[in-house]
Amino acid sequence: MKIQAINGFKDILPDSVGRWQHIEQRARDIFERFGLQEIRMPILEKTELFVRSIGEATDVVEKEMYTFADKGITMRPEATASIMRAFIEHGLHVQQPVQRLYTIGPMFRHERPQKGRLRQFHQLDAEIIGAVEPRIDAELIAMGQMLLDELGLRVNLELNSLGCPVCRPPFKNRLITFLAQKSDGFCEDCKRRTHTNPLRVLDCKKPACRALVQEAPSLLDALCPECDRHFREVREALETLGIPFHLNRFMVRGLDYYTRTTFEFLTTDLGAQAAVGAGGRYDGLIEQLGGPPLSGIGFAMGLERIALLMEQQDAGKCSQNAMDVCLAALGTNTLAPCSLLAHTLRKQGVKVALDYSGRSLKAQLKQAGRVNARYTLIIGEDEWARGEGILRNMATQEQQPFALTGSPEEQGRRLMDTLLPATP
């Protein structure tokens, strides 16, 4: 029996890796324009970190974590908790009171695998820690929107506020009263959540639950004056930056640590996997994990969903790795000089394809086409003896003589001079 990958764990093959690299490069480029610095954390953390941050009664902690029960460690289901752990452990705020950080990497959740939902998936994660101003919220959201725009994607931005420890608990009580009255109509999960995590009922996707919560009290009407002002200023700051959004008073994030501003970038093009990215403010989290009383805001985007959406919405073609030149060596005596020329060119920064099979010119030209070579330099025994190869432009099929005189370095520079003007 052949051994296959585990269900929900997927290979990213060379023909789609170009798209992944493109997304990652765009993300790094944009995040760095906003002053974010990369941080990389381990994949395993103490289980307690996630239980204390994400929350015991959340789906992620209740049923989705890969935990090594006997060792008390878990494969990270998301990045924010790990970043906060590292932030506190290394006292990053001491060097710089406002930290702007990002990370890119795999996350693990035991969910039912489907399109855009995997057990190992990848996130782009961005955080601004140590600042509470509403314009920070707007700046971070605008950064996420800029990335999706530059990738050529169409998404909708939805916005909500989840209040704070002052206004949320009394609201929760009112909500529980409302939910308990209508209890019969809710699904089993929501009946349970009414007491463990009542806010979560508001964004249950089941139609019956959705209909029932339409009349539920809204947290947006129950915000305390500080949260109300903060949220108003976030909306104004987004308007200043020209970022369109919709208010969604039913949006509740699946992680407990969120406070105040929460947001999601949504699409209707990926079926049930509607969220391309999501995030929000987590003002009490760092203190709750034993750090200083600093606030923060962040988002995570799913790389698989971005890549799928790019395909679906036909955004930005990502060409495969194209070679600059293919050396077609014909005849055994040309192999040694061609291998030295290829090696020299590669040292000089040129992407070179060369095979040692001594196949026919026709076969080698075909191969040059497969690796998207822009040029093929044909060197047969006659050409080598004459000191003059044939340089073929693969797009126009035009051919010109190419002098094989001087040292390999000189030949390499001459070839680069010939190729460079044609570089787009």
Q: How far apart are CA 82 and CA 45, in angstroms?
A: 7
* Closest CB to ligand ATP among residues 74, 123: 123
Q: How far apart are CA 268 and CA 246, in angstroms?
A: 15
Q: How many CA atoms lie within 13 A of 107 on its CB side?
A: 26
How far from each other are the two terminal CA atoms of the chain, in whole angstroms? 49
Q: Does 305 bind ligand ATP (CB under 6 A)?
A: yes
Taking CB under 6 A as the criterion, the residue among 130, 254, 296, 298 binding ligand ATP is: 254
Q: How far apart are CA 121 and CA 77, in angstroms?
A: 9
Among residues 40, 41, 48, 108, which one has the least CA distance to residue 73?
Answer: 48
Q: Does 130 bind ligand ATP (CB under 6 A)?
A: no
Taking CB under 6 A as the criterion, the residue among 130, 144, 277, 291 binding ligand ATP is: 277
Largest CA distance in the chain: 94
Taking CB under 6 A as the criterion, the residue among 302, 344, 368, 374 binding ligand ATP is: 302
Q: Does 304 bind ligand ATP (CB under 6 A)?
A: yes
Torsion angle (degrees, nearest 10) of CA 57, 59, 60, 65 = 100
* Closest CB to ligand ATP among residues 278, 330: 278
Q: Does 273 bind ligand ATP (CB under 6 A)?
A: yes
Binding part of the chain for ligand ATP, among 297-305, 332-340, 347-355, 359-367 by CB under 6 A, reads 297-305
Binding part of the chain for ligand ATP, among 270-278, 287-295, 336-344, 384-392 by CB under 6 A, reads 270-278
Q: What is the DSSP string of 256-268?
A: TT-EEEEEEEE-S
**For residues 56-115, which are near ligand ATP according to CB under 6 A?**
78, 109, 111
Q: Does 156 bind ligand ATP (CB under 6 A)?
A: no
* Closest CB to ligand ATP among residues 12, 403: 12
Task: Give how many residues touch ligand ATP by CB under 6 A.
Answer: 19
Taking CB under 6 A as the criterion, the residue among 26, 52, 100, 117 binding ligand ATP is: 117
Q: Does 19 bind ligand ATP (CB under 6 A)?
A: no
Q: Are 102 and 300 in contact (CB under 8 A)?
A: no
Q: Are 159 and 261 in contact (CB under 8 A)?
A: yes
Q: Are 278 and 300 in contact (CB under 8 A)?
A: yes
User: Which parts of this chain interact with ligand ATP (CB under 6 A)?
Assistant: 78, 109, 111, 116-118, 121, 123, 254, 273, 275-278, 300-302, 304-305
